[in-house]
Structure 1
Amino acid sequence: MELRHLQHFVAVAEDQHFTRAAERLMVSQSGLSASVRALEKELGTPLFVRTTRRVTLTGAGRALLTEAERILAQVRAAHEAVAAVQGVLRGTLALGTEQCIAGVDVAGLLAAFRRRHPDVEIRLRQAGSGALTEEVAAGRLDLAFAYRTRGDIDQLRSVALTGEPAIVLCHPGHPLAAAAAVAVEELGGEVFVDFHPDWGPRRTTDAAFAAADVRRTVALEVNDVHSLLDLVGENLGVAVVPRHFRHKRPSLTALPLKGTDETVYRTVALLPPPESMSPAARALMALLETDGG
């Protein structure tokens, strides 16, 4: 099994199209098809279901994809480790993060990293904590800044960044706005604005309400912080969010949430096993620990 066969297979799996994958890899479509066929012949099973519009993975293909991504990540890490020993940090830093993550200034951290390591290509992916966890575990990301709940399975190493309590954001004209603080039990009948269930703050808030045995329904679901603040600003619902969100829209009323632990939202750096950690990821974490992000 050759590495280029695995690289070609992963590219087709990602693009779900031979032509697009060939263009991205800058190889001929016939050569790419032959490479995939050679891999299928060696494994003795089809890896793709081919149609005129796109290709999809078979069961065997899905199983191979996970292992192929890990193998390619390890090969990349090996090349980068050799370069690091030679005194030059090269390669790629693939970082994932949630929006508006607490505990680290992502833009400032990456700017400082680029100044120190200009030969490293930086790739940034923004997604929910659930997806980021999967991508670090699969080797598609070197590390990620994410939220964790107490119920998360420790499939990855984590380094604590910060923790903060929950607040309730509402319109100044909302009946809750006159209160000094709000108990979880008082929110059962409210209309909620919140993020997609894959997002860390949503998962953390859901867990906090479940622990208090209070049912809530998210009527307005968004995928970015500004949309959440806009909807609350139009008095279409209330939101339970990390405390630092209040600084993003001072016109909204922010109330402490009683009935939850002081530290509800925990932000961490999610890391692969030490032997799989790339030199670039090690350098970024060292910079974070030195400069505090």
Structure 2
Amino acid sequence: MELRHLQHFVAVAEDQHFTRAAERLMVSQSGLSASIRALERELRAPLFVRTTRRVTLTEAGRALLGEAERILSQVRSAHEAVAAVQGVLRGTLSLGTEQCIAGVHVATLLAAFRRQHPDVEIRLRQAGSVALAEEVAAGRLDLAFAYRTQADNDQLRSVALAGEPPIVLCHPDHRLAAPGAAVTTEDLAGEVFVDFHPDWGPRRTTDAAFSAAGVRRTVALEVNDVHSLLDLVDENLGVAVVPRHFRHKRPSLTALPLKGAAGTAYETVALLPAEQATSPAARALVALLETGGLTPPWDDAEAA
């Protein structure tokens, strides 16, 4: 099995189109088709269902895709490891992050990394923590900054960044808003909630806290970015239970401590593959994070 065959297969799977994949790979369409046919002959199974408009993976193709991505990621890591031994960090750093992660200022960290390692190409993807964990485990991302959503396993490990208690954000005219007040999960029963998509780490943590307290809640207003959530609360359309540092993003809102959610914490982590599969670029980024003190300005205020 040749690596170029796997590269061609992954490209077609991603684009779901032979012509687009051939253009991206800068190979002829006939050469790409021949490469896929050779791989199918070797595996003795069709990998794609071909139509006039697009191609889709067969069951065998879906089984191969994850393994092919991991193999290609390991090959890339091998090349980068050799370059690192020679004193030059090269290649690509593929990073994922959820929005508004406590414990790291991603833009500042990446700027510092680029100054130290200008020969490394940086690629950044923003998504929910569940999807990011899957991407790291599959080898599509070198690492990700996310909220903890699962325990470490053979394919995934984590480095702790920060932990925060929950707060309730509401409009100053809301019935619960009062200086120095605190609310319980029971106080919030029947409220209209604004929250993130279930793929987001904070949403999963909040859902688990209310479930553990035996309080039912319904998320009526579901968003995929922090500013939309804050805008909806700012218009008094609902309340939001979020990590504590979110209060710094909209000081006009009332922030109330949430009581009765014992043990609830929003934990942020750097997710990495198994030690032997971690790329030199990912190791360098984590080392920079651990020594550089590149944390958001609110972290120091919260810790004081």
TM bucket normalised to smaller: over 0.9
- The CA deviation at 1:174 is 1.1
- Asked if structure 2 preserves the Cα contact closer than 8 Å seen for 1:163 and 1:263, the reply is no
Unaligned runs of 5+ in 2: 295-304
What amino acid sits opposite 2:167 in the alignment?
A: I
Aligned to 2:152: 154
Deviating more after overlay: 5-14 vs 18-27? 18-27
> Partners of 2:131 and 2:125 in 1: how far apart?
10
2:290 aligned with 1:289, yes or no?
yes
What is the 5 A alignment of 1:48-67? Answer: 48-67=48-67
8 Å Cα contact 1:165-1:261 kept in structure 2: no
Counterparts of 1:51 and 1:262 in 2: how far apart (Å)?
Answer: 53
For residues 202 and 78 of structure 1, the distance between their equivalents in structure 2, rounded to whole angstroms, comes to 37
Give the secondary structure class of the aligned counterpart of 1:176.
coil
How far does the alpha carbon of each residue in 1:219-277 deviate from its partner, in whole angstroms, 9 at most, with x for none?
01000001101111111111000010011111111110001236510001111111100
Letter in 2 for 1:280: A
Question: Partner residue of 1:225?
Answer: 226
1:125 corresponds in structure 2 to 125
Instruction: Find the residue that maps to 1:89 and give its secondary structure.
Output: coil
Unpaired runs of 5+ residues, structure 1, are: none
Q: Does 1:110 align with 2:106?
A: no
Please state if 1:255 is matched with 2:253: no
CA RMSD, Structure 1 to Structure 2 (Å)? 1.0
Instruction: Give secondary structure in 1 for the equivalent of 2:176.
Output: helix
Partner-residue secondary structure (3-state), 1:167: strand
Which region of structure 1 is more displaced relative to structure 2, 215-224 or 257-266? 257-266
Please name the residue that 2:138 is paired with: 138
TM-score, normalising length: structure 1: 0.97
Contact 1:164–1:262, Cα closer than 8 Å, also in 2: no
Aligned residue pairs: how many? 291
Trace 1:157-176 onto structure 2 (pairs within 5 A): 157-176=157-176
Paired with 1:26 and 1:59, the residues of 2 have a C-alpha distance of: 28
Match in the other structure for 2:22: 22
| Deviations 1:130-176, CA, capped at 9 Å, x for gaps | 00000000000001111014xx2422111110001100011111111
Per the TM alignment, residue 18 of structure 1 is displaced from its structure 2 partner at its CA by 0.9
Distance 1:96 1:17, change over 3 A: same
Q: Contact 2:205–2:264 (CA<8 Å) still a contact in 1?
A: no
- Corresponding position: 1:93 with 2:93: yes
Contact 2:209 2:264 in 1 (8 A): no
- CA distance 1:262–1:255, change in 2 (3 Å): farther
Q: Does 1:242 align with 2:246?
A: no
Question: Please, which moves more after superposition, 256-265 or 137-146?
Answer: 256-265
Deviating 4+ runs (over 2 angstroms): none
Partner of 1:199: 200
Letter of the structure 1 residue corresponding to residue 272 of structure 2: L
Query: What displacement does 1:23 show?
Result: 1.1
Q: 1:184 — aligned with what? A: 185
- One-letter amino acid of the structure 2 residue matched with residue 63 of structure 1: A
What is the alpha-carbon distance in structure 1 between the residues aligned to residue 147 and residue 72 of structure 2? 27
Instruction: Render the CA deviation track for 1:9-57: whole Å, top value 9, x for unaligned.
Output: 0001111111111111111111111111110111111101111111111
Q: What secondary structure sits across from 2:285 in the alignment?
A: helix
Shift of 1:178: 2.5
Q: Which amino acid aligns with 2:255?
A: A
Give identity over the alignment, percent. 86
Query: What secondary structure sits across from 1:178 in the alignment?
Result: coil
